[in-house]
Structure 1
Amino acid sequence: MKLTKSSSKNSTTYYVQKSYRIGDKTSTKTVERLGSIEELKARAGDKDPIEWAKEYVKKLTLSEKESRKDITVKYSGSRQIDKNIRKSVNVGYLFLKKIYNELRLPKVVEEISEKYKITYDLDDIFSSLLYTRILSPSSKEASFHYAENFLEKRNFDLHQVYRALEVLAKENDLIQKKLYENSMSVIERNKHILYYDCTNFYFETEEEDGFRKYGISKEHRPNPIVQMGLFMDADGIPLAFSMFPGNQNEQPSLAPLEKKIISDFGIDKLVVCTDSGLSSAPNRRFNDTKKRKFITTQSIKKLKDFLKEFCLSDEGWRKTGSKKTYRISELDPVEDYHTTFYKDRWINEDGLEQHLIITFSLKYQAYQRKIRGRQIEKASSCLDHPSTLTKRSANDYKRLLSQEHITRHGEMAEKSLIKLDMKKIAEEELYDGFYAVCTNLEDNAESIVRINHKRWEIEECFRIMKTEFKARPVYLSREDRIKAHFLTCYASLVLYRILEKRLTAQSPEVSFSCHEIIQTLRNMNMLVSLGDGYIPVYERTDLTDALHEISGFRTDLEIVSNRNMKKIFTKMKKEEK
């Protein structure tokens, strides 16, 4: 605290003031009005009024330090609030900022800034784009304005955001490489079992160009799309990604990105797990080496007849921990409902020796038949409406309908006859409950099935980007800015996944959903008490407790003093190194 004075033409008034900080902005607050020189003389007695005032300020400062843990906040019912001063700030981003700093991304971005001689704050822009993608996903302009809600005030202009995107796109490979390298000291990475999959993202436009092309949209939208190929490690943390035009086949995208991982990341011994859409013969051969192996979903329908018969046959099934064999027709619908049975053999497909593993589950069979039952209901509603029949996809319920143009007497019908295709339905039911994978690993069937089962996590990565992070639709048009947009989505996903893994390790008995974690971070707001500190206005829960435990700081005190908040930032700054 300090003694200040305000002079006018006729008098001088003395005040006690203290400095305070909101993020990186410093200002002052009047703590007490001491009055004019005459009023000071009255309070000072025999002492010099100015010396008395200085001693009084010193006592207030000491008293505040002694009672720092118990802060009394005073408000007036007659005084207006200050103009242009934020009274509420978000601190949820601090838990992401801690991981951002631990990954030493400020240092990475600093090197990029020096390379391009950038004068604006590229680190502030990049980090803000990551935090807002998680906390308030929207357009770049909306993200720019949302960043004003953070405790630390942003230090860049909107036009600089778009300039930054161009630079980030050029350094895409470097940032991915550094993210991986630096993450090794932040969290343990299971990098020898990798999962690869592709998805696509649509644009709010009808015009395609060299990068945005019409293709098969995952959302079945009639818009141009771009495609993303993503590698994920065995713990569900993204490893690398690539972008390619929407009209290209996704199968050739695997090898180039895998080669980049091998050369740039130094990972040469690995097992790549994919779904059937990416299990082409060239991809299998690419990973048929001493150091590289594959596990891929295998369509039973596409196997040769004798192998198909082996897969669907009734006998020869086993379950983990038992040498006994079982018949599917003799399984108990209650006792065996949750058990997965399997059988396997080595085959030669596409010139490759492969280990074919088939699983069967009554639960999976019931699930598939439940889904088909709903599709049959939908298909039945089309029986009297031939005009509703359009081109059918592999999973469209209209595939279960057949259309006849002749009567039972062999004459041309005036009206097409639509009916349920019972033969088609019966054929599909033959495969219910069965699932197959092919691999060149010599491991036992149980471990291979266990590895393949985790493939759902890469689907979850795409779901998080599309739903929670709202990565699409994309409103950018330039290719470099589009790629930079997905770089920020990817980096945000890395931050989130590391946070999620730490929460799981901290509270293994509690399961926090993705939506719950992100919503909690979004709602972690604090009231600014000028000169005193920050008062939480969010609900304290098991999740907020876990967030503070894994991060090593607390914002859930009744009031967090300016001094303690400064300590949090100082500690985070040290973690950049």
Structure 2
Amino acid sequence: MPTIALQHYKRGSHYYASIIETFRDPVTRKNSSRTLEALGDISEKMKEDPNYLQSLKDRVTALRSDASRAEQLQEAAVRRIAPAVFNSSADASSPRLHYGMAPIRKVWEKLGLNAWFRKAGYNRKLSWDLDLAVFYQVASRILSPLSRRGMRRQCPRHLFKFDSVSLDHHYEALDILAASKPTIIKKLDEAVCKEISRDCSLVFYDVTTFYFESFEPDCLRERGMSKEHRTHETQVLLGLLIDRCGIPLDYEIYRGNTAEVKTLMKVVESFREKCPQGKPIVVADRGLNSKDNLSKLIKNDCAFIVAHSLQRLSSKELGSLFSEDGWKYKFDSETGEMSWKMKTMDCPDAVKQEESQEAVKPRLIVTWSAKRYAHDMKELNLQWEQAKKMVSAGTGRIDASFKRGARQFLKRVKQSDPDEKAPEERYELNRELYERKIRFAGYYGLITCCEDLSDEEIYSRLRELWKIENCFRVMKSVLCTRPIYVRTEAHIRGHFVVCVLALALERFMAFKLREQGIEYSAEMMVELLMSPTVSPIEGVKNKVKLYLKTGEQELEKPESSCSKSVDLNQEAEKVMAVFGVEPLPTLTTVVDITKRLGVRLPI
């Protein structure tokens, strides 16, 4: 960084002054200086204003503290020497090397993951760098997710050197990750707890599916109910537990045909072994709601807030639900119409505990929303119209369709023909089911054993389930966790260790940015980290290898509805500064890059 000083001297009865900039010439690697402003004879001005000299000193002090001004001065110095440098070796074919992995590496080292993997590699007496291999897989999964083979081909795009790790080493790293998954997740959890005030009093659990481009099942890959409607391809289930920041606490991989309801307790029990203190509240969707799960949650000293299907209620309970008694209402301030209501009911079934303890009687909270009613009715009417079209399409098309969506409103009936011995089967519309669905439109139910929270607080906690849905969205879109290109069980499990580590780092970085008032989507953060680049050039003196900072300058901001554009390099530097990465000057050397980025990676 250039330094600025006021130079003044007396010659006879006259005072002379100038503002001098001193900087290090990146080509000659020697200190140099130049005059920024020649003030000349200031004797008359000093007579007019006795504080004129002090005002000049204050002006220089302001220039020193103005970082943007100092950067402009640095660039001016670069432009002065640029013609001789650029004409030597820089041209349009110079590669652009990304260094956006630097802040990810800073987080990696801050969480102590580098030390753990180095020790693990040393204990296994590996001839290659396990830490470098795993970090490259995790960072690549965030910035430019590809298969392992494609990831290896992308090594020359990065400023840091990862080509010392071969493709075989990357696959071997997956075996190590699969075998060490419990220890790695525990280490990650401990490190995150040290860095942020992690709130584990409320945790969220859900399940999703990840498919393979494969049709042959094995011990882990299997066809099942796919959330992405890929029923003909094999898949695995991921059960994920996160905190309120969206950072993973624990996870587990299950065979592709495993029922969702059977996945909850293995993850929760593993989490409780690591964090036995406190009584966390587990929030889950209705697919995880079963008497067995709820009783085991209480046995593991956990409370629960779980969505509940109102269509499972008895006729007596439905009568209480649809009665006008006990509701709390909210009205629209503009129209005066009722927009939302809530009531509490006795839960139909008690949750069993140990034989020596009394059963817990949870409460059922029901809400109705005008917005949800409009959404439900729109979906119902769309499915009903589709069901009408399916009836006219014939039984063959109906039999080949999924037994969900519009198909649920069709029922098979037998029509007897006096001229034929066997009755003919056909489909007709199930109007009773359609009218029953209309009756429940807009309603939503949940059950809980939390006694210290109000109904409104419990409902707001359940609404936070969007956080884990967002984690799944990031894993499937930004991190490209699927399709999965590895096939052995160890490699599959190792692949998910990489993806969960990538999700944890991305969520941790987003949390740190929010603390500084910076909020970007996962997609935008990746765009920012991939924007700053440097291009290698060769100096004319002493053949010193220099790097010219390049990169994209502007991009339309996706979060904003206006047409304003943002300077990607400036925004990227703001993001990197949060994690202790200093901005690079326009022209720099390897030594300066290493110092400013401050990461332990080969360049």
Give the TM-score category using the shorter length: 0.7 to 0.9
Kindly report which structure 2 residues correspond to 1:118-267, keeping only aligned pairs within 5 A, or say none: 118-154=126-162, 155-221=164-230, 222-267=232-277
Match of 2:547 in 1: 533
Change (3 A) 1:227 1:456: same
Aligned residues: 504
Alpha-carbon displacement from aligned partner over 1:285-307 (angstroms, at most 9, x marks no partner): 01225942111110001122222
Q: Is the 8 A contact 1:517 1:543 kept in 2?
A: no
Alpha-carbon displacement from aligned partner over 1:356-413 (angstroms, at most 9, x marks no partner): 1111100111111122233233333323211320266564222223455438999999
Q: Is the 8 A contact 2:313 2:348 kept in 1?
A: no
CA distance in 1, matches of 2:123, 2:420: 78
Residue identity over aligned pairs, in percent, reads: 23
Q: Is the 8 A contact 1:527 1:537 kept in 2?
A: no
Cα shift at 1:214: 2.4
- Give the SS at the match of 1:534: strand
CA distance in 1, matches of 2:371, 2:304: 27
Bigger mean CA offset, 251-260 vs 278-287: 251-260
Match of 2:596 in 1: 568
CA distance in 2, matches of 1:375, 1:65: 76
Bigger mean CA offset, 256-265 vs 279-288: 256-265
- Give the SS at the match of 1:226: strand
Cα shift at 1:493: 0.2
- Give the SS at the match of 1:532: strand
CA distance in 1, matches of 2:119, 2:422: 75
CA distance in 2, matches of 1:409, 1:465: 59
**TM-score, normalization by structure 2:** 0.76
Q: Is the 8 A contact 1:406 1:412 kept in 2?
A: no
Matched, 1:438 2:450: no
CA-based RMSD of the aligned residues comes to 3.3
Match of 2:475 in 1: 465
Q: Is the 8 A contact 1:384 1:418 kept in 2?
A: no
- Give the SS at the match of 1:287: helix
Match of 1:548 in 2: 576
Letter in 1 for 2:318: K
Cα shift at 1:77: 8.7
Bigger mean CA offset, 177-186 vs 57-66: 57-66
CA distance in 2, matches of 1:371, 1:522: 40
Q: Is the 8 A contact 2:26 2:589 kept in 1?
A: no
Cα shift at 1:76: 7.8
**TM-score, normalization by structure 1:** 0.79
Change (3 A) 1:523 1:394: farther
Letter in 1 for 2:225: I
- Give the SS at the match of 1:288: helix
Letter in 1 for 2:489: E
CA distance in 1, matches of 2:341, 2:419: 48
Kindly report which structure 2 residues correspond to 1:226-375, keeping only aligned pairs within 5 A, or say none: 226-289=236-299, 291-319=301-329, 334-336=335-337, 339-351=339-351, 352-375=360-383
CA distance in 2, matches of 1:75, 1:306: 89
Change (3 A) 1:506 1:311: farther
- Give the SS at the match of 1:384: helix
Match of 1:54 in 2: none
Change (3 A) 1:298 1:127: same
Letter in 2 for 1:553: V
- Give the SS at the match of 2:399: coil
Cα shift at 1:132: 0.9
Change (3 A) 1:81 1:407: same
Which residues of structure 2 form unaligned runs of 5+? 1-24, 35-72, 352-359, 539-544, 554-566
CA distance in 2, matches of 1:176, 1:197: 18
CA distance in 2, matches of 1:520, 1:107: 28
Q: Is the 8 A contact 1:366 1:433 kept in 2?
A: yes
Alpha-carbon displacement from aligned partner over 1:424-481 (angstroms, at most 9, x marks no partner): 2211011111111101111210111111111111111112111221111112111111
CA distance in 1, matches of 2:589, 2:324: 70
Change (3 A) 1:89 1:404: same
Q: Is the 8 A contact 1:333 1:362 kept in 2?
A: no
Bigger mean CA offset, 232-241 vs 371-380: 371-380
Change (3 A) 1:74 1:566: farther
CA distance in 2, matches of 1:377, 1:190: 46
CA distance in 1, matches of 2:227, 2:108: 31
CA distance in 2, matches of 1:394, 1:190: 41
Change (3 A) 1:223 1:60: closer
Match of 1:20 in 2: none
Of the three residues 2, 25, 29, the one matched with 1:61 is 29
CA distance in 2, matches of 1:535, 1:368: 53
Bigger mean CA offset, 251-260 vs 384-393: 384-393
Q: Is the 8 A contact 2:391 2:427 kept in 1?
A: yes
Of the three residues 415, 437, 458, the one matched with 1:448 is 458
Which residues of structure 1 form unaligned runs of 5+? 1-56, 321-325
Letter in 2 for 1:406: Q
CA distance in 2, matches of 1:419, 1:446: 43
Alpha-carbon displacement from aligned partner over 1:166-213 (angstroms, at most 9, x marks no partner): 111111111100011001122221111111111222222221111212
Cα shift at 1:503: 2.5
Letter in 2 for 1:215: G
Change (3 A) 1:408 1:342: farther
Cα shift at 1:98: 1.8
Of the three residues 50, 58, 82, the one matched with 1:73 is 82
Q: Is the 8 A contact 1:536 1:555 kept in 2?
A: no
CA distance in 1, matches of 2:447, 2:468: 19
Q: Is the 8 A contact 2:326 2:344 kept in 1?
A: no
Of the three residues 506, 520, 527, the one matched with 2:516 is 506
Bigger mean CA offset, 262-271 vs 415-424: 415-424
CA distance in 2, matches of 1:558, 1:395: 59
